[in-house]
């Protein structure tokens, strides 16, 4: 009885908390509910003892999972598995995902931006090793919140348990490629420890991803969750990567003072630490947070912020004086991330209808106690390209139409249903992006930093220089199926990559292979090009400047192909272009700023067919990949290569823009013939005096 | 001087001019829809679509009223070609337009209130009123109903079929209109046909071109 009541009160507390997690501002309406705190907690170590007594790292498995929350259930969800639980070739194949990916999630899929990939389990050749599980954790574990991927090996054995043993000398769960020697060496799990689920990263408002990242990067997984609490005053970092506890942050009974952790539903700030939208209502946009880059912002320039663009202090937004409206209309209204991307079984947020069963309201929903015990962390999400992550949760989020009745608005718009069927809401409600984003990432030719050449759109200058002019950019338009499988036109940022593909192995060429082909060695961080490369690409000064690092002749492509074969053992390398569209769902503008002019789309110079610049240095005559398929979406006719979306929009007839050429010819010829007949006939009548 | 004959009744004239006005407006608003950036009429494409639809329905209503009138007043026979109209009479009329008119020959048809249309006119109106107009009405109504019966709209090919089809019909109407206006000047005087369709009276054409 007591337990039920406890769960009820706790549930109400957390549900109410969800609405008031943010400090209201003038432009964000305050949610009036008062806040109830999470009960005080005892922080326990892996043995279940109070860390104040033992001084050991916090174990969330013990602290959160021992009595109140189902740790295994929670960490079995995507936010902790990141694709590990979806490593199924049939599943990948059924979604059109190339087999060189081992999962559809971040833990297993190839990503062009770092040109890295998790090494497949069961490999027997050192040449097939790219990024092992420990290396993945050091590179990506700053955001990816422990549990699952950092507690279990690829065969499902719990690290440091008796059953956890490497399956051969190349087992990617127990090895790492040494950066200096290039050899595959064992990873010492005893030394690193495992990173349990970092509940604090999302549920503690003052969580520090930067501090967590530092420990993960150093391979100090064991203390990573403690590091996240650095900003709360609860812990202090010591030498050698250990942490001590501040007794002042604890009550006399050994529990943590509630205000120290302030446990709550994730605030925008928590989500933003990894997804990169900036915090709410800020006039200083910081997409580069905690010393590394937040992907969500850099891929499309998303800014989820309720403050007006015109009030932005940093960076320098060109033309902001005229932008007297918020960065995002939803943020300005006080909508938080979890309003749309909620835990699917949260009774306070879940979608209660069941269209498949013709129910507008489904009375049999989750009990609050069940939810609190087993909150589903497969958060509701949409389905926008090119993301493939969390396949089983696609199109589960609260979409635009779940809150807005578009048919009741849009009085100016004829044929509403047709428009809403053919256009994503974002197409009109993200008419422009006022921030910078990735433009290209060229892994085809490595720079002397040993890595790729990256360019950005929407900024004049460096992205880390606050004095750079942020000019923003206009989106490109692609088509994607909506949740009803109707093709819709939607805005995107295009990130164009150039990379080498190993046709023999049917996978992208790894970065270390590229480095072996391009460089004879390195001194510190300066990589020394091979003489063959210098001879072919450098000008008279012997230096390869950026304009020279291009494949402007087939000979140069053939040269690098030969070097890849000779020095990196790549059997059949092929240079490819990949045009990746990154769809947009944030930086939404309201009706005043949304595109309303019909001629924006229904005209000869429709924005839908606007040429969007790609990478200036794209090679010619190489295969062009678009969303995993060979599709020519590059137009080389102009000064610079541009995006050609004709193959995508060919299924849309846009009145005022689309033309059936034979109709136009036949039609105008008939009109011209009629006019000509009148002119000739009339002239002859006039000349003959027969009018 | 020949005496004037009453050729067109008030109903016929009202019907004709309403139809002509509707077609002109449909062509203009159609241009504003087909080339919204080059013919920015009525402020916006949405307005052009709005008025195009209403005028289209006005034309349909007028067409049905016209059918009703011609049937009940037994005037439909003016539009019914005889077999000879497709052959000998049509050839004669064509020869007149292409040759005889310049030689000052007599018009092959002696127009009177019982026979107002020559063979080529009958053939042209047969095609216009029985093929092109219904075709244009059907394609137009289907496009208008894209939001009202979307499944049927898609089943008949959607905009990919109906858009070009309706556009082609519009061009043919425009071509007809140009020719029709020009041929209206081929009378006893350039204005006599126009006058007849305006006030109803016209001098019979047996000596129209002399």
Residues 6+ apart with CB under 8 A from B143: B153, B159, B162, B163, B166
Interface of chain B against chain A, CB under 8 Å? 33-38, 40, 44-46, 49-50, 97, 101-102, 104, 146-147, 150, 158-160, 163-164, 167-168, 170-172, 174-176, 178-179, 181-182, 185-186, 189-190, 209
Using pLDDT thresholds of 50, 70 and 90, give the confidence band for residue A239. Answer: confident
Beta bridge mates, A573: A502
Instruction: Give the tens place of pLDDT for each residue, B156-181.
Output: 999 999 999 999 999 999 999 999 99
CB-CB neighbors (< 8 A) of A598 in chain B: 36, 44-46
Give the residue on A whose Cα is nearest the Cα of B97.
A681
Instruction: Give the tens place of pLDDT for each residue, A315-325.
Output: 899 999 999 99
Interface test with A, best of B49, B164, B186 (most A CBs within 10 A): B164
Cis ω before B203 (30° cut-off from 0): no
* Residue in B33, B44, B150 nearest the CB of A655: B33
Interface test with A, best of B102, B157, B187 (most A CBs within 10 A): B102
Asked if A660 and B167 come within 8 Å (Cβ–Cβ), the reply is yes
Please answer whether residues B55 and B42 qualify as being in contact, where contact means their C-beta atoms are separated by less than 8 angstroms: no
Among residues B47, A676, A414, which one has the least CA distance to residue B39? B47
Please answer whether residues A185 and A244 qualify as being in contact, where contact means their C-beta atoms are separated by less than 8 angstroms: no
Pairing of strands A469-470, A316-317: parallel
* Residue in A414, A664, A681 nearest the CB of B49: A414
Instruction: Report the pLDDT value the prediction gives residue A69, as an integer from 0 to 100.
Output: 96
HSE at residue B76, side-chain half, CA atoms within 13 A, is 13
Asked if A673 and B46 come within 8 Å (Cβ–Cβ), the reply is no
Tell me the C-alpha distance between A657 and A106, whole Å: 40
Give residue A250's Cα distance to chain centre.
38
CB-CB neighbors (< 8 A) of B101 in chain A: 685, 690
Instruction: Give the tens place of pLDDT for each residue, A470-519.
Output: 999 999 999 998 888 889 999 999 999 999 999 999 999 999 999 999 99
Residues 6+ apart with CB under 8 A from B145: B152, B153
**Cα-flanking dihedrals φ and ψ of residue A259, to 5°?**
-70, -15
Using pLDDT thresholds of 50, 70 and 90, give the confidence band for residue B105. Answer: confident
Instruction: Report the pLDDT value the prediction gives residue B206, as an integer from 0 to 100.
Output: 47
Instruction: Report the pLDDT value the prediction gives residue A483, as an integer from 0 to 100.
Output: 84
Interface test with B, best of A597, A649, A661, A667 (most B CBs within 10 A): A667
Please answer whether residues A447 and B80 qualify as being in contact, where contact means their C-beta atoms are separated by less than 8 angstroms: no
Tell me the C-alpha distance between B188 and A545, whole Å: 83
Instruction: Report the pLDDT value the prediction gives residue A363, as an integer from 0 to 100.
Output: 72
Tell me the C-alpha distance between A203 and B65, whole Å: 73
The 10 Å Cβ neighbour count of residue A337 is: 23
Among residues A435, A532, A369, which one has the least CA distance to residue A4? A369
Query: Minimum mean pLDDT among A209-213, A349-353, A361-365, A391-395: which range?
Result: A361-365
Alpha helices in A34-76 (DSSP H): 51-54, 60-63, 71-75
Instruction: Report the pLDDT value the prediction gives residue A352, as an integer from 0 to 100.
Output: 75
Instruction: Report the pLDDT value the prediction gives residue A3, as an integer from 0 to 100.
Output: 42
> A9-14 long-range CB contacts below 8 Å, 24 or more apart?
A9/A36, A10/A38, A10/A39, A10/A68, A10/A372, A11/A368, A11/A369, A11/A371, A11/A372, A12/A36, A12/A368, A13/A37, A13/A38, A14/A38, A14/A264, A14/A265, A14/A372
**Domain definitions of chain A by residue range:** 2-261, 437-649, 661-691
Asked if B102 and A655 come within 8 Å (Cβ–Cβ), the reply is no
Asked if B175 and A685 come within 8 Å (Cβ–Cβ), the reply is no
Using pLDDT thresholds of 50, 70 and 90, give the confidence band for residue A229. Answer: very high
Instruction: Report the pLDDT value the prediction gives residue A36, as an integer from 0 to 100.
Output: 55
Q: DSSP per residue over A669-690, as a string?
A: HHHHHHHHHHHHHHHHHHHTT-
Kind plus residue range of the DSSP H or E element containing A501 = strand A487-502
Among residues A162, A166, A159, which one has the least CA distance to residue A190? A159
Instruction: Report the pLDDT value the prediction gives residue B208, as an integer from 0 to 100.
Output: 38
Using pLDDT thresholds of 50, 70 and 90, give the confidence band for residue A283. Answer: confident
Instruction: Report the pLDDT value the prediction gives residue A594, as an integer from 0 to 100.
Output: 97
Instruction: Give the tens place of pLDDT for each residue, A290-341.
Output: 445 556 788 888 888 899 999 999 889 999 999 999 999 999 999 999 999 9
Among residues B156, B157, B159, B155, which one has the least CA distance to residue B143? B159
**Domain definitions of chain B by residue range:** 5-207
Give the closest-approach CA distance of A420 to chain B in angstroms. Answer: 11
Beta bridge mates, A507: A502
Furthest CA-CA distance within chain A = 119
Instruction: Give the tens place of pLDDT for each residue, A91-103.
Output: 999 888 999 999 9
Asked if B179 and A677 come within 8 Å (Cβ–Cβ), the reply is yes
Tell me the C-alpha distance between B81 and B89, whole Å: 10
Secondary structure (H, E, C), B118-138: CHHHHHHHHHHHHHHHHHHHH
Asked if B175 and A412 come within 8 Å (Cβ–Cβ), the reply is no
Please answer whether residues A577 and A498 qualify as being in contact, where contact means their C-beta atoms are separated by less than 8 angstroms: yes
* Residue in A598, A666, A671 nearest the CB of B44: A598
CB-CB neighbors (< 8 A) of B179 in chain A: 674, 677-678
Instruction: Give the tens place of pLDDT for each residue, A160-174.
Output: 999 999 999 999 999
Query: What percent of chain B clears pLDDT 90, i.e. is strictly above it?
Result: 64
DSSP state of B130: I
Give the residue on B whose Cα is nearest the Cα of A679.
B182
pLDDT beyond 80 at A643: yes
Tell me the C-alpha distance between A484 and B112, whole Å: 64
Check: CATH 1.20.950.20 for B5-207? yes
Give the residue on B whose Cα is nearest the Cα of A417.
B147
Give the closest-approach CA distance of A257 to chain B in angstroms. Answer: 60
Please answer whether residues A14 and A38 qualify as being in contact, where contact means their C-beta atoms are separated by less than 8 angstroms: yes
């Amino acid at each position: 009885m007591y337990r039920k009541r406890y769960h009820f009160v706790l549930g109400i507390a957390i549900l109410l908390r969800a609405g008031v997690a943010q400090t209201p501002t003038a432009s964000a309406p305050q949610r009036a509910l008062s806040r109830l705190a999470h009960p005080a907690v005892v922080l326990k170590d892996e043995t279940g003892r109070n860390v104040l007594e033992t001084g050991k790292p916090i174990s969330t498995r013990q602290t959160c999972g021992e009595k109140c929350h189902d740790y295994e259930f929670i960490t079995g969800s995507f936010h902790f598995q990141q694709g590990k639980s979806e490593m199924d070739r049939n599943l990948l194949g059924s979604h059109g995902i190339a087999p060189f990916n081992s999962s559809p999630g971040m833990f297993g899929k190839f990503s062009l931006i770092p040109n890295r990939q998790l090494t497949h389990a069961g490999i027997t050749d050192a040449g097939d090793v790219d990024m092992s599980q420990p290396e993945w954790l050091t590179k990506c574990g700053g955001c990816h919140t422990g549990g699952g991927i950092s507690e279990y090996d690829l065969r499902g054995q719990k690290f440091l348990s008796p059953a956890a043993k490497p399956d051969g000398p190349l087992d990617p769960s127990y090895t790492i490629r040494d950066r200096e020697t290039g050899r595959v060496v064992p990873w010492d799990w005893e030394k690193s420890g495992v990173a349990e689920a970092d509940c604090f990263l999302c549920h503690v408002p003052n969580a520090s991803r930067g501090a967590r990242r530092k420990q993960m990067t150093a391979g100090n997984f064991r203390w990573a969750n403690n590091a996240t609490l650095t900003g709360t005053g609860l812990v202090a970092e010591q030498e050698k990567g250990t942490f001590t506890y501040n007794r002042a942050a604890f009550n006399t009974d050994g529990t943590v003072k509630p205000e120290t952790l302030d446990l709550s539903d994730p605030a925008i700030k928590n989500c933003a630490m990894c997804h990169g939208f900036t915090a709410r209502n800020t006039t200083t946009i910081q997409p580069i947070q905690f010393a590394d880059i937040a992907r969500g912002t850099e891929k499309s320039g998303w800014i989820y912020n309720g403050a007006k663009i015109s009030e932005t202090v940093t960076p320098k937004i060109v033309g902001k004086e005229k932008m007297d409206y918020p960065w995002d209309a939803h943020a300005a209204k006080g909508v938080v991330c979890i309003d749309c991307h909620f835990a699917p079984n949260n009774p306070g947020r879940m979608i209660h209808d069941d269209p498949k069963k013709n129910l507008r309201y489904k009375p049999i929903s989750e009990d609050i106690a069940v939810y609190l015990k087993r909150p589903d962390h497969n958060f509701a999400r949409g389905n926008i390209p090119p993301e493939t992550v969390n396949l089983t949760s696609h199109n589960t989020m609260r979409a635009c139409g779940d809150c807005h009745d578009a048919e009741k608005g849009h009085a100016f718009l004829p044929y509403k249903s047709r428009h809403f069927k053919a256009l994503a809401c974002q197409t009109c409600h993200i008419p422009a992006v006022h921030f910078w984003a990735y433009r290209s990432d060229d892994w085809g030719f490595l720079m002397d930093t040993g890595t790729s050449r990256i360019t950005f759109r929407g900024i004049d200058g460096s992205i880390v220089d606050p004095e750079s002019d942020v000019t923003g950019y206009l989106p490109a338009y692609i088509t994607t199926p909506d949740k009803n499988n109707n093709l819709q036109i939607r805005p995107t940022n295009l990130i164009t990559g150039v990379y080498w593909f190993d046709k023999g192995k049917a996978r992208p060429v790894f970065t270390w292979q590229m480095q072996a082909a391009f460089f004879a060695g390195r001194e510190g961080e300066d990589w020394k090009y091979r003489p063959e490369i210098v001879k072919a690409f450098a000008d008279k000064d012997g230096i390869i400047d950026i304009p020279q690092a291009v494949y402007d002749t087939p000979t140069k492509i053939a040269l690098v192909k030969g070097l890849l074969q000779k020095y990196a053992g790549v059997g059949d390398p092929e240079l490819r272009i990949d045009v990746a569209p990154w769809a947009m769902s944030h930086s939404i503008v309201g009706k005043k700023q949304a595109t309303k002019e019909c001629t924006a789309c229904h005209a000869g110079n429709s924005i839908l067919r606007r040429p969007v610049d790609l990478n200036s240095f794209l090679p010619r005559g190489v295969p062009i990949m678009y969303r995993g398929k060979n599709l020519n979406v590059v137009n080389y006719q102009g000064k610079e290569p541009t995006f050609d979306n004709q193959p995508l929009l060919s299924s849309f007839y846009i009145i005022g823009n689309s033309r059936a050429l034979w109709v136009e010819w036949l039609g105008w010829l008939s009109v011209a013939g009629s006019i000509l007949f009148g002119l000739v006939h009339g002239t002859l009548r006039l000349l003959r005096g027969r009018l | 001087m020949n005496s004037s004959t009453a050729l067109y009744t008030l109903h016929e004239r009202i019907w004709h001019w309403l139809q002509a006005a509707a077609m002109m407006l449909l062509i203009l608003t159609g241009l504003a829809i087909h080339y919204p950036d080059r013919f920015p009429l009525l402020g916006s494409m949405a307005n052009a679509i709005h008025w195009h639809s209403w005028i289209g329905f006005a034309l349909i209503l007028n067409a049905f009223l016209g059918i009703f009138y011609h049937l009940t007043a037994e005037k439909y026979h003016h539009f019914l070609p005889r077999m000879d109209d497709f052959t000998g009479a049509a050839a004669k009329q064509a020869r007149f337009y292409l040759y005889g008119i310049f030689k000052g020959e007599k018009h092959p048809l002696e127009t009177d209130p019982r026979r107002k249309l020559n063979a080529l006119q009958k053939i042209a109106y047969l095609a216009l009123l029985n093929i092109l107009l219904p075709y244009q009405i059907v394609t137009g109504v289907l496009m208008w109903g894209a939001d009202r019966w979307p499944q049927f709209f898609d089943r008949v090919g959607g905009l990919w079929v109906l858009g070009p089809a309706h556009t082609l019909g519009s061009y043919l109407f425009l071509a007809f209109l140009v020719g029709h206006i020009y041929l209206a000047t081929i009378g006893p005087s350039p204005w006599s046909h126009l006058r007849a369709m305006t006030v109803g009276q016209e001098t019979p054409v047996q000596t129209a071109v002399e």
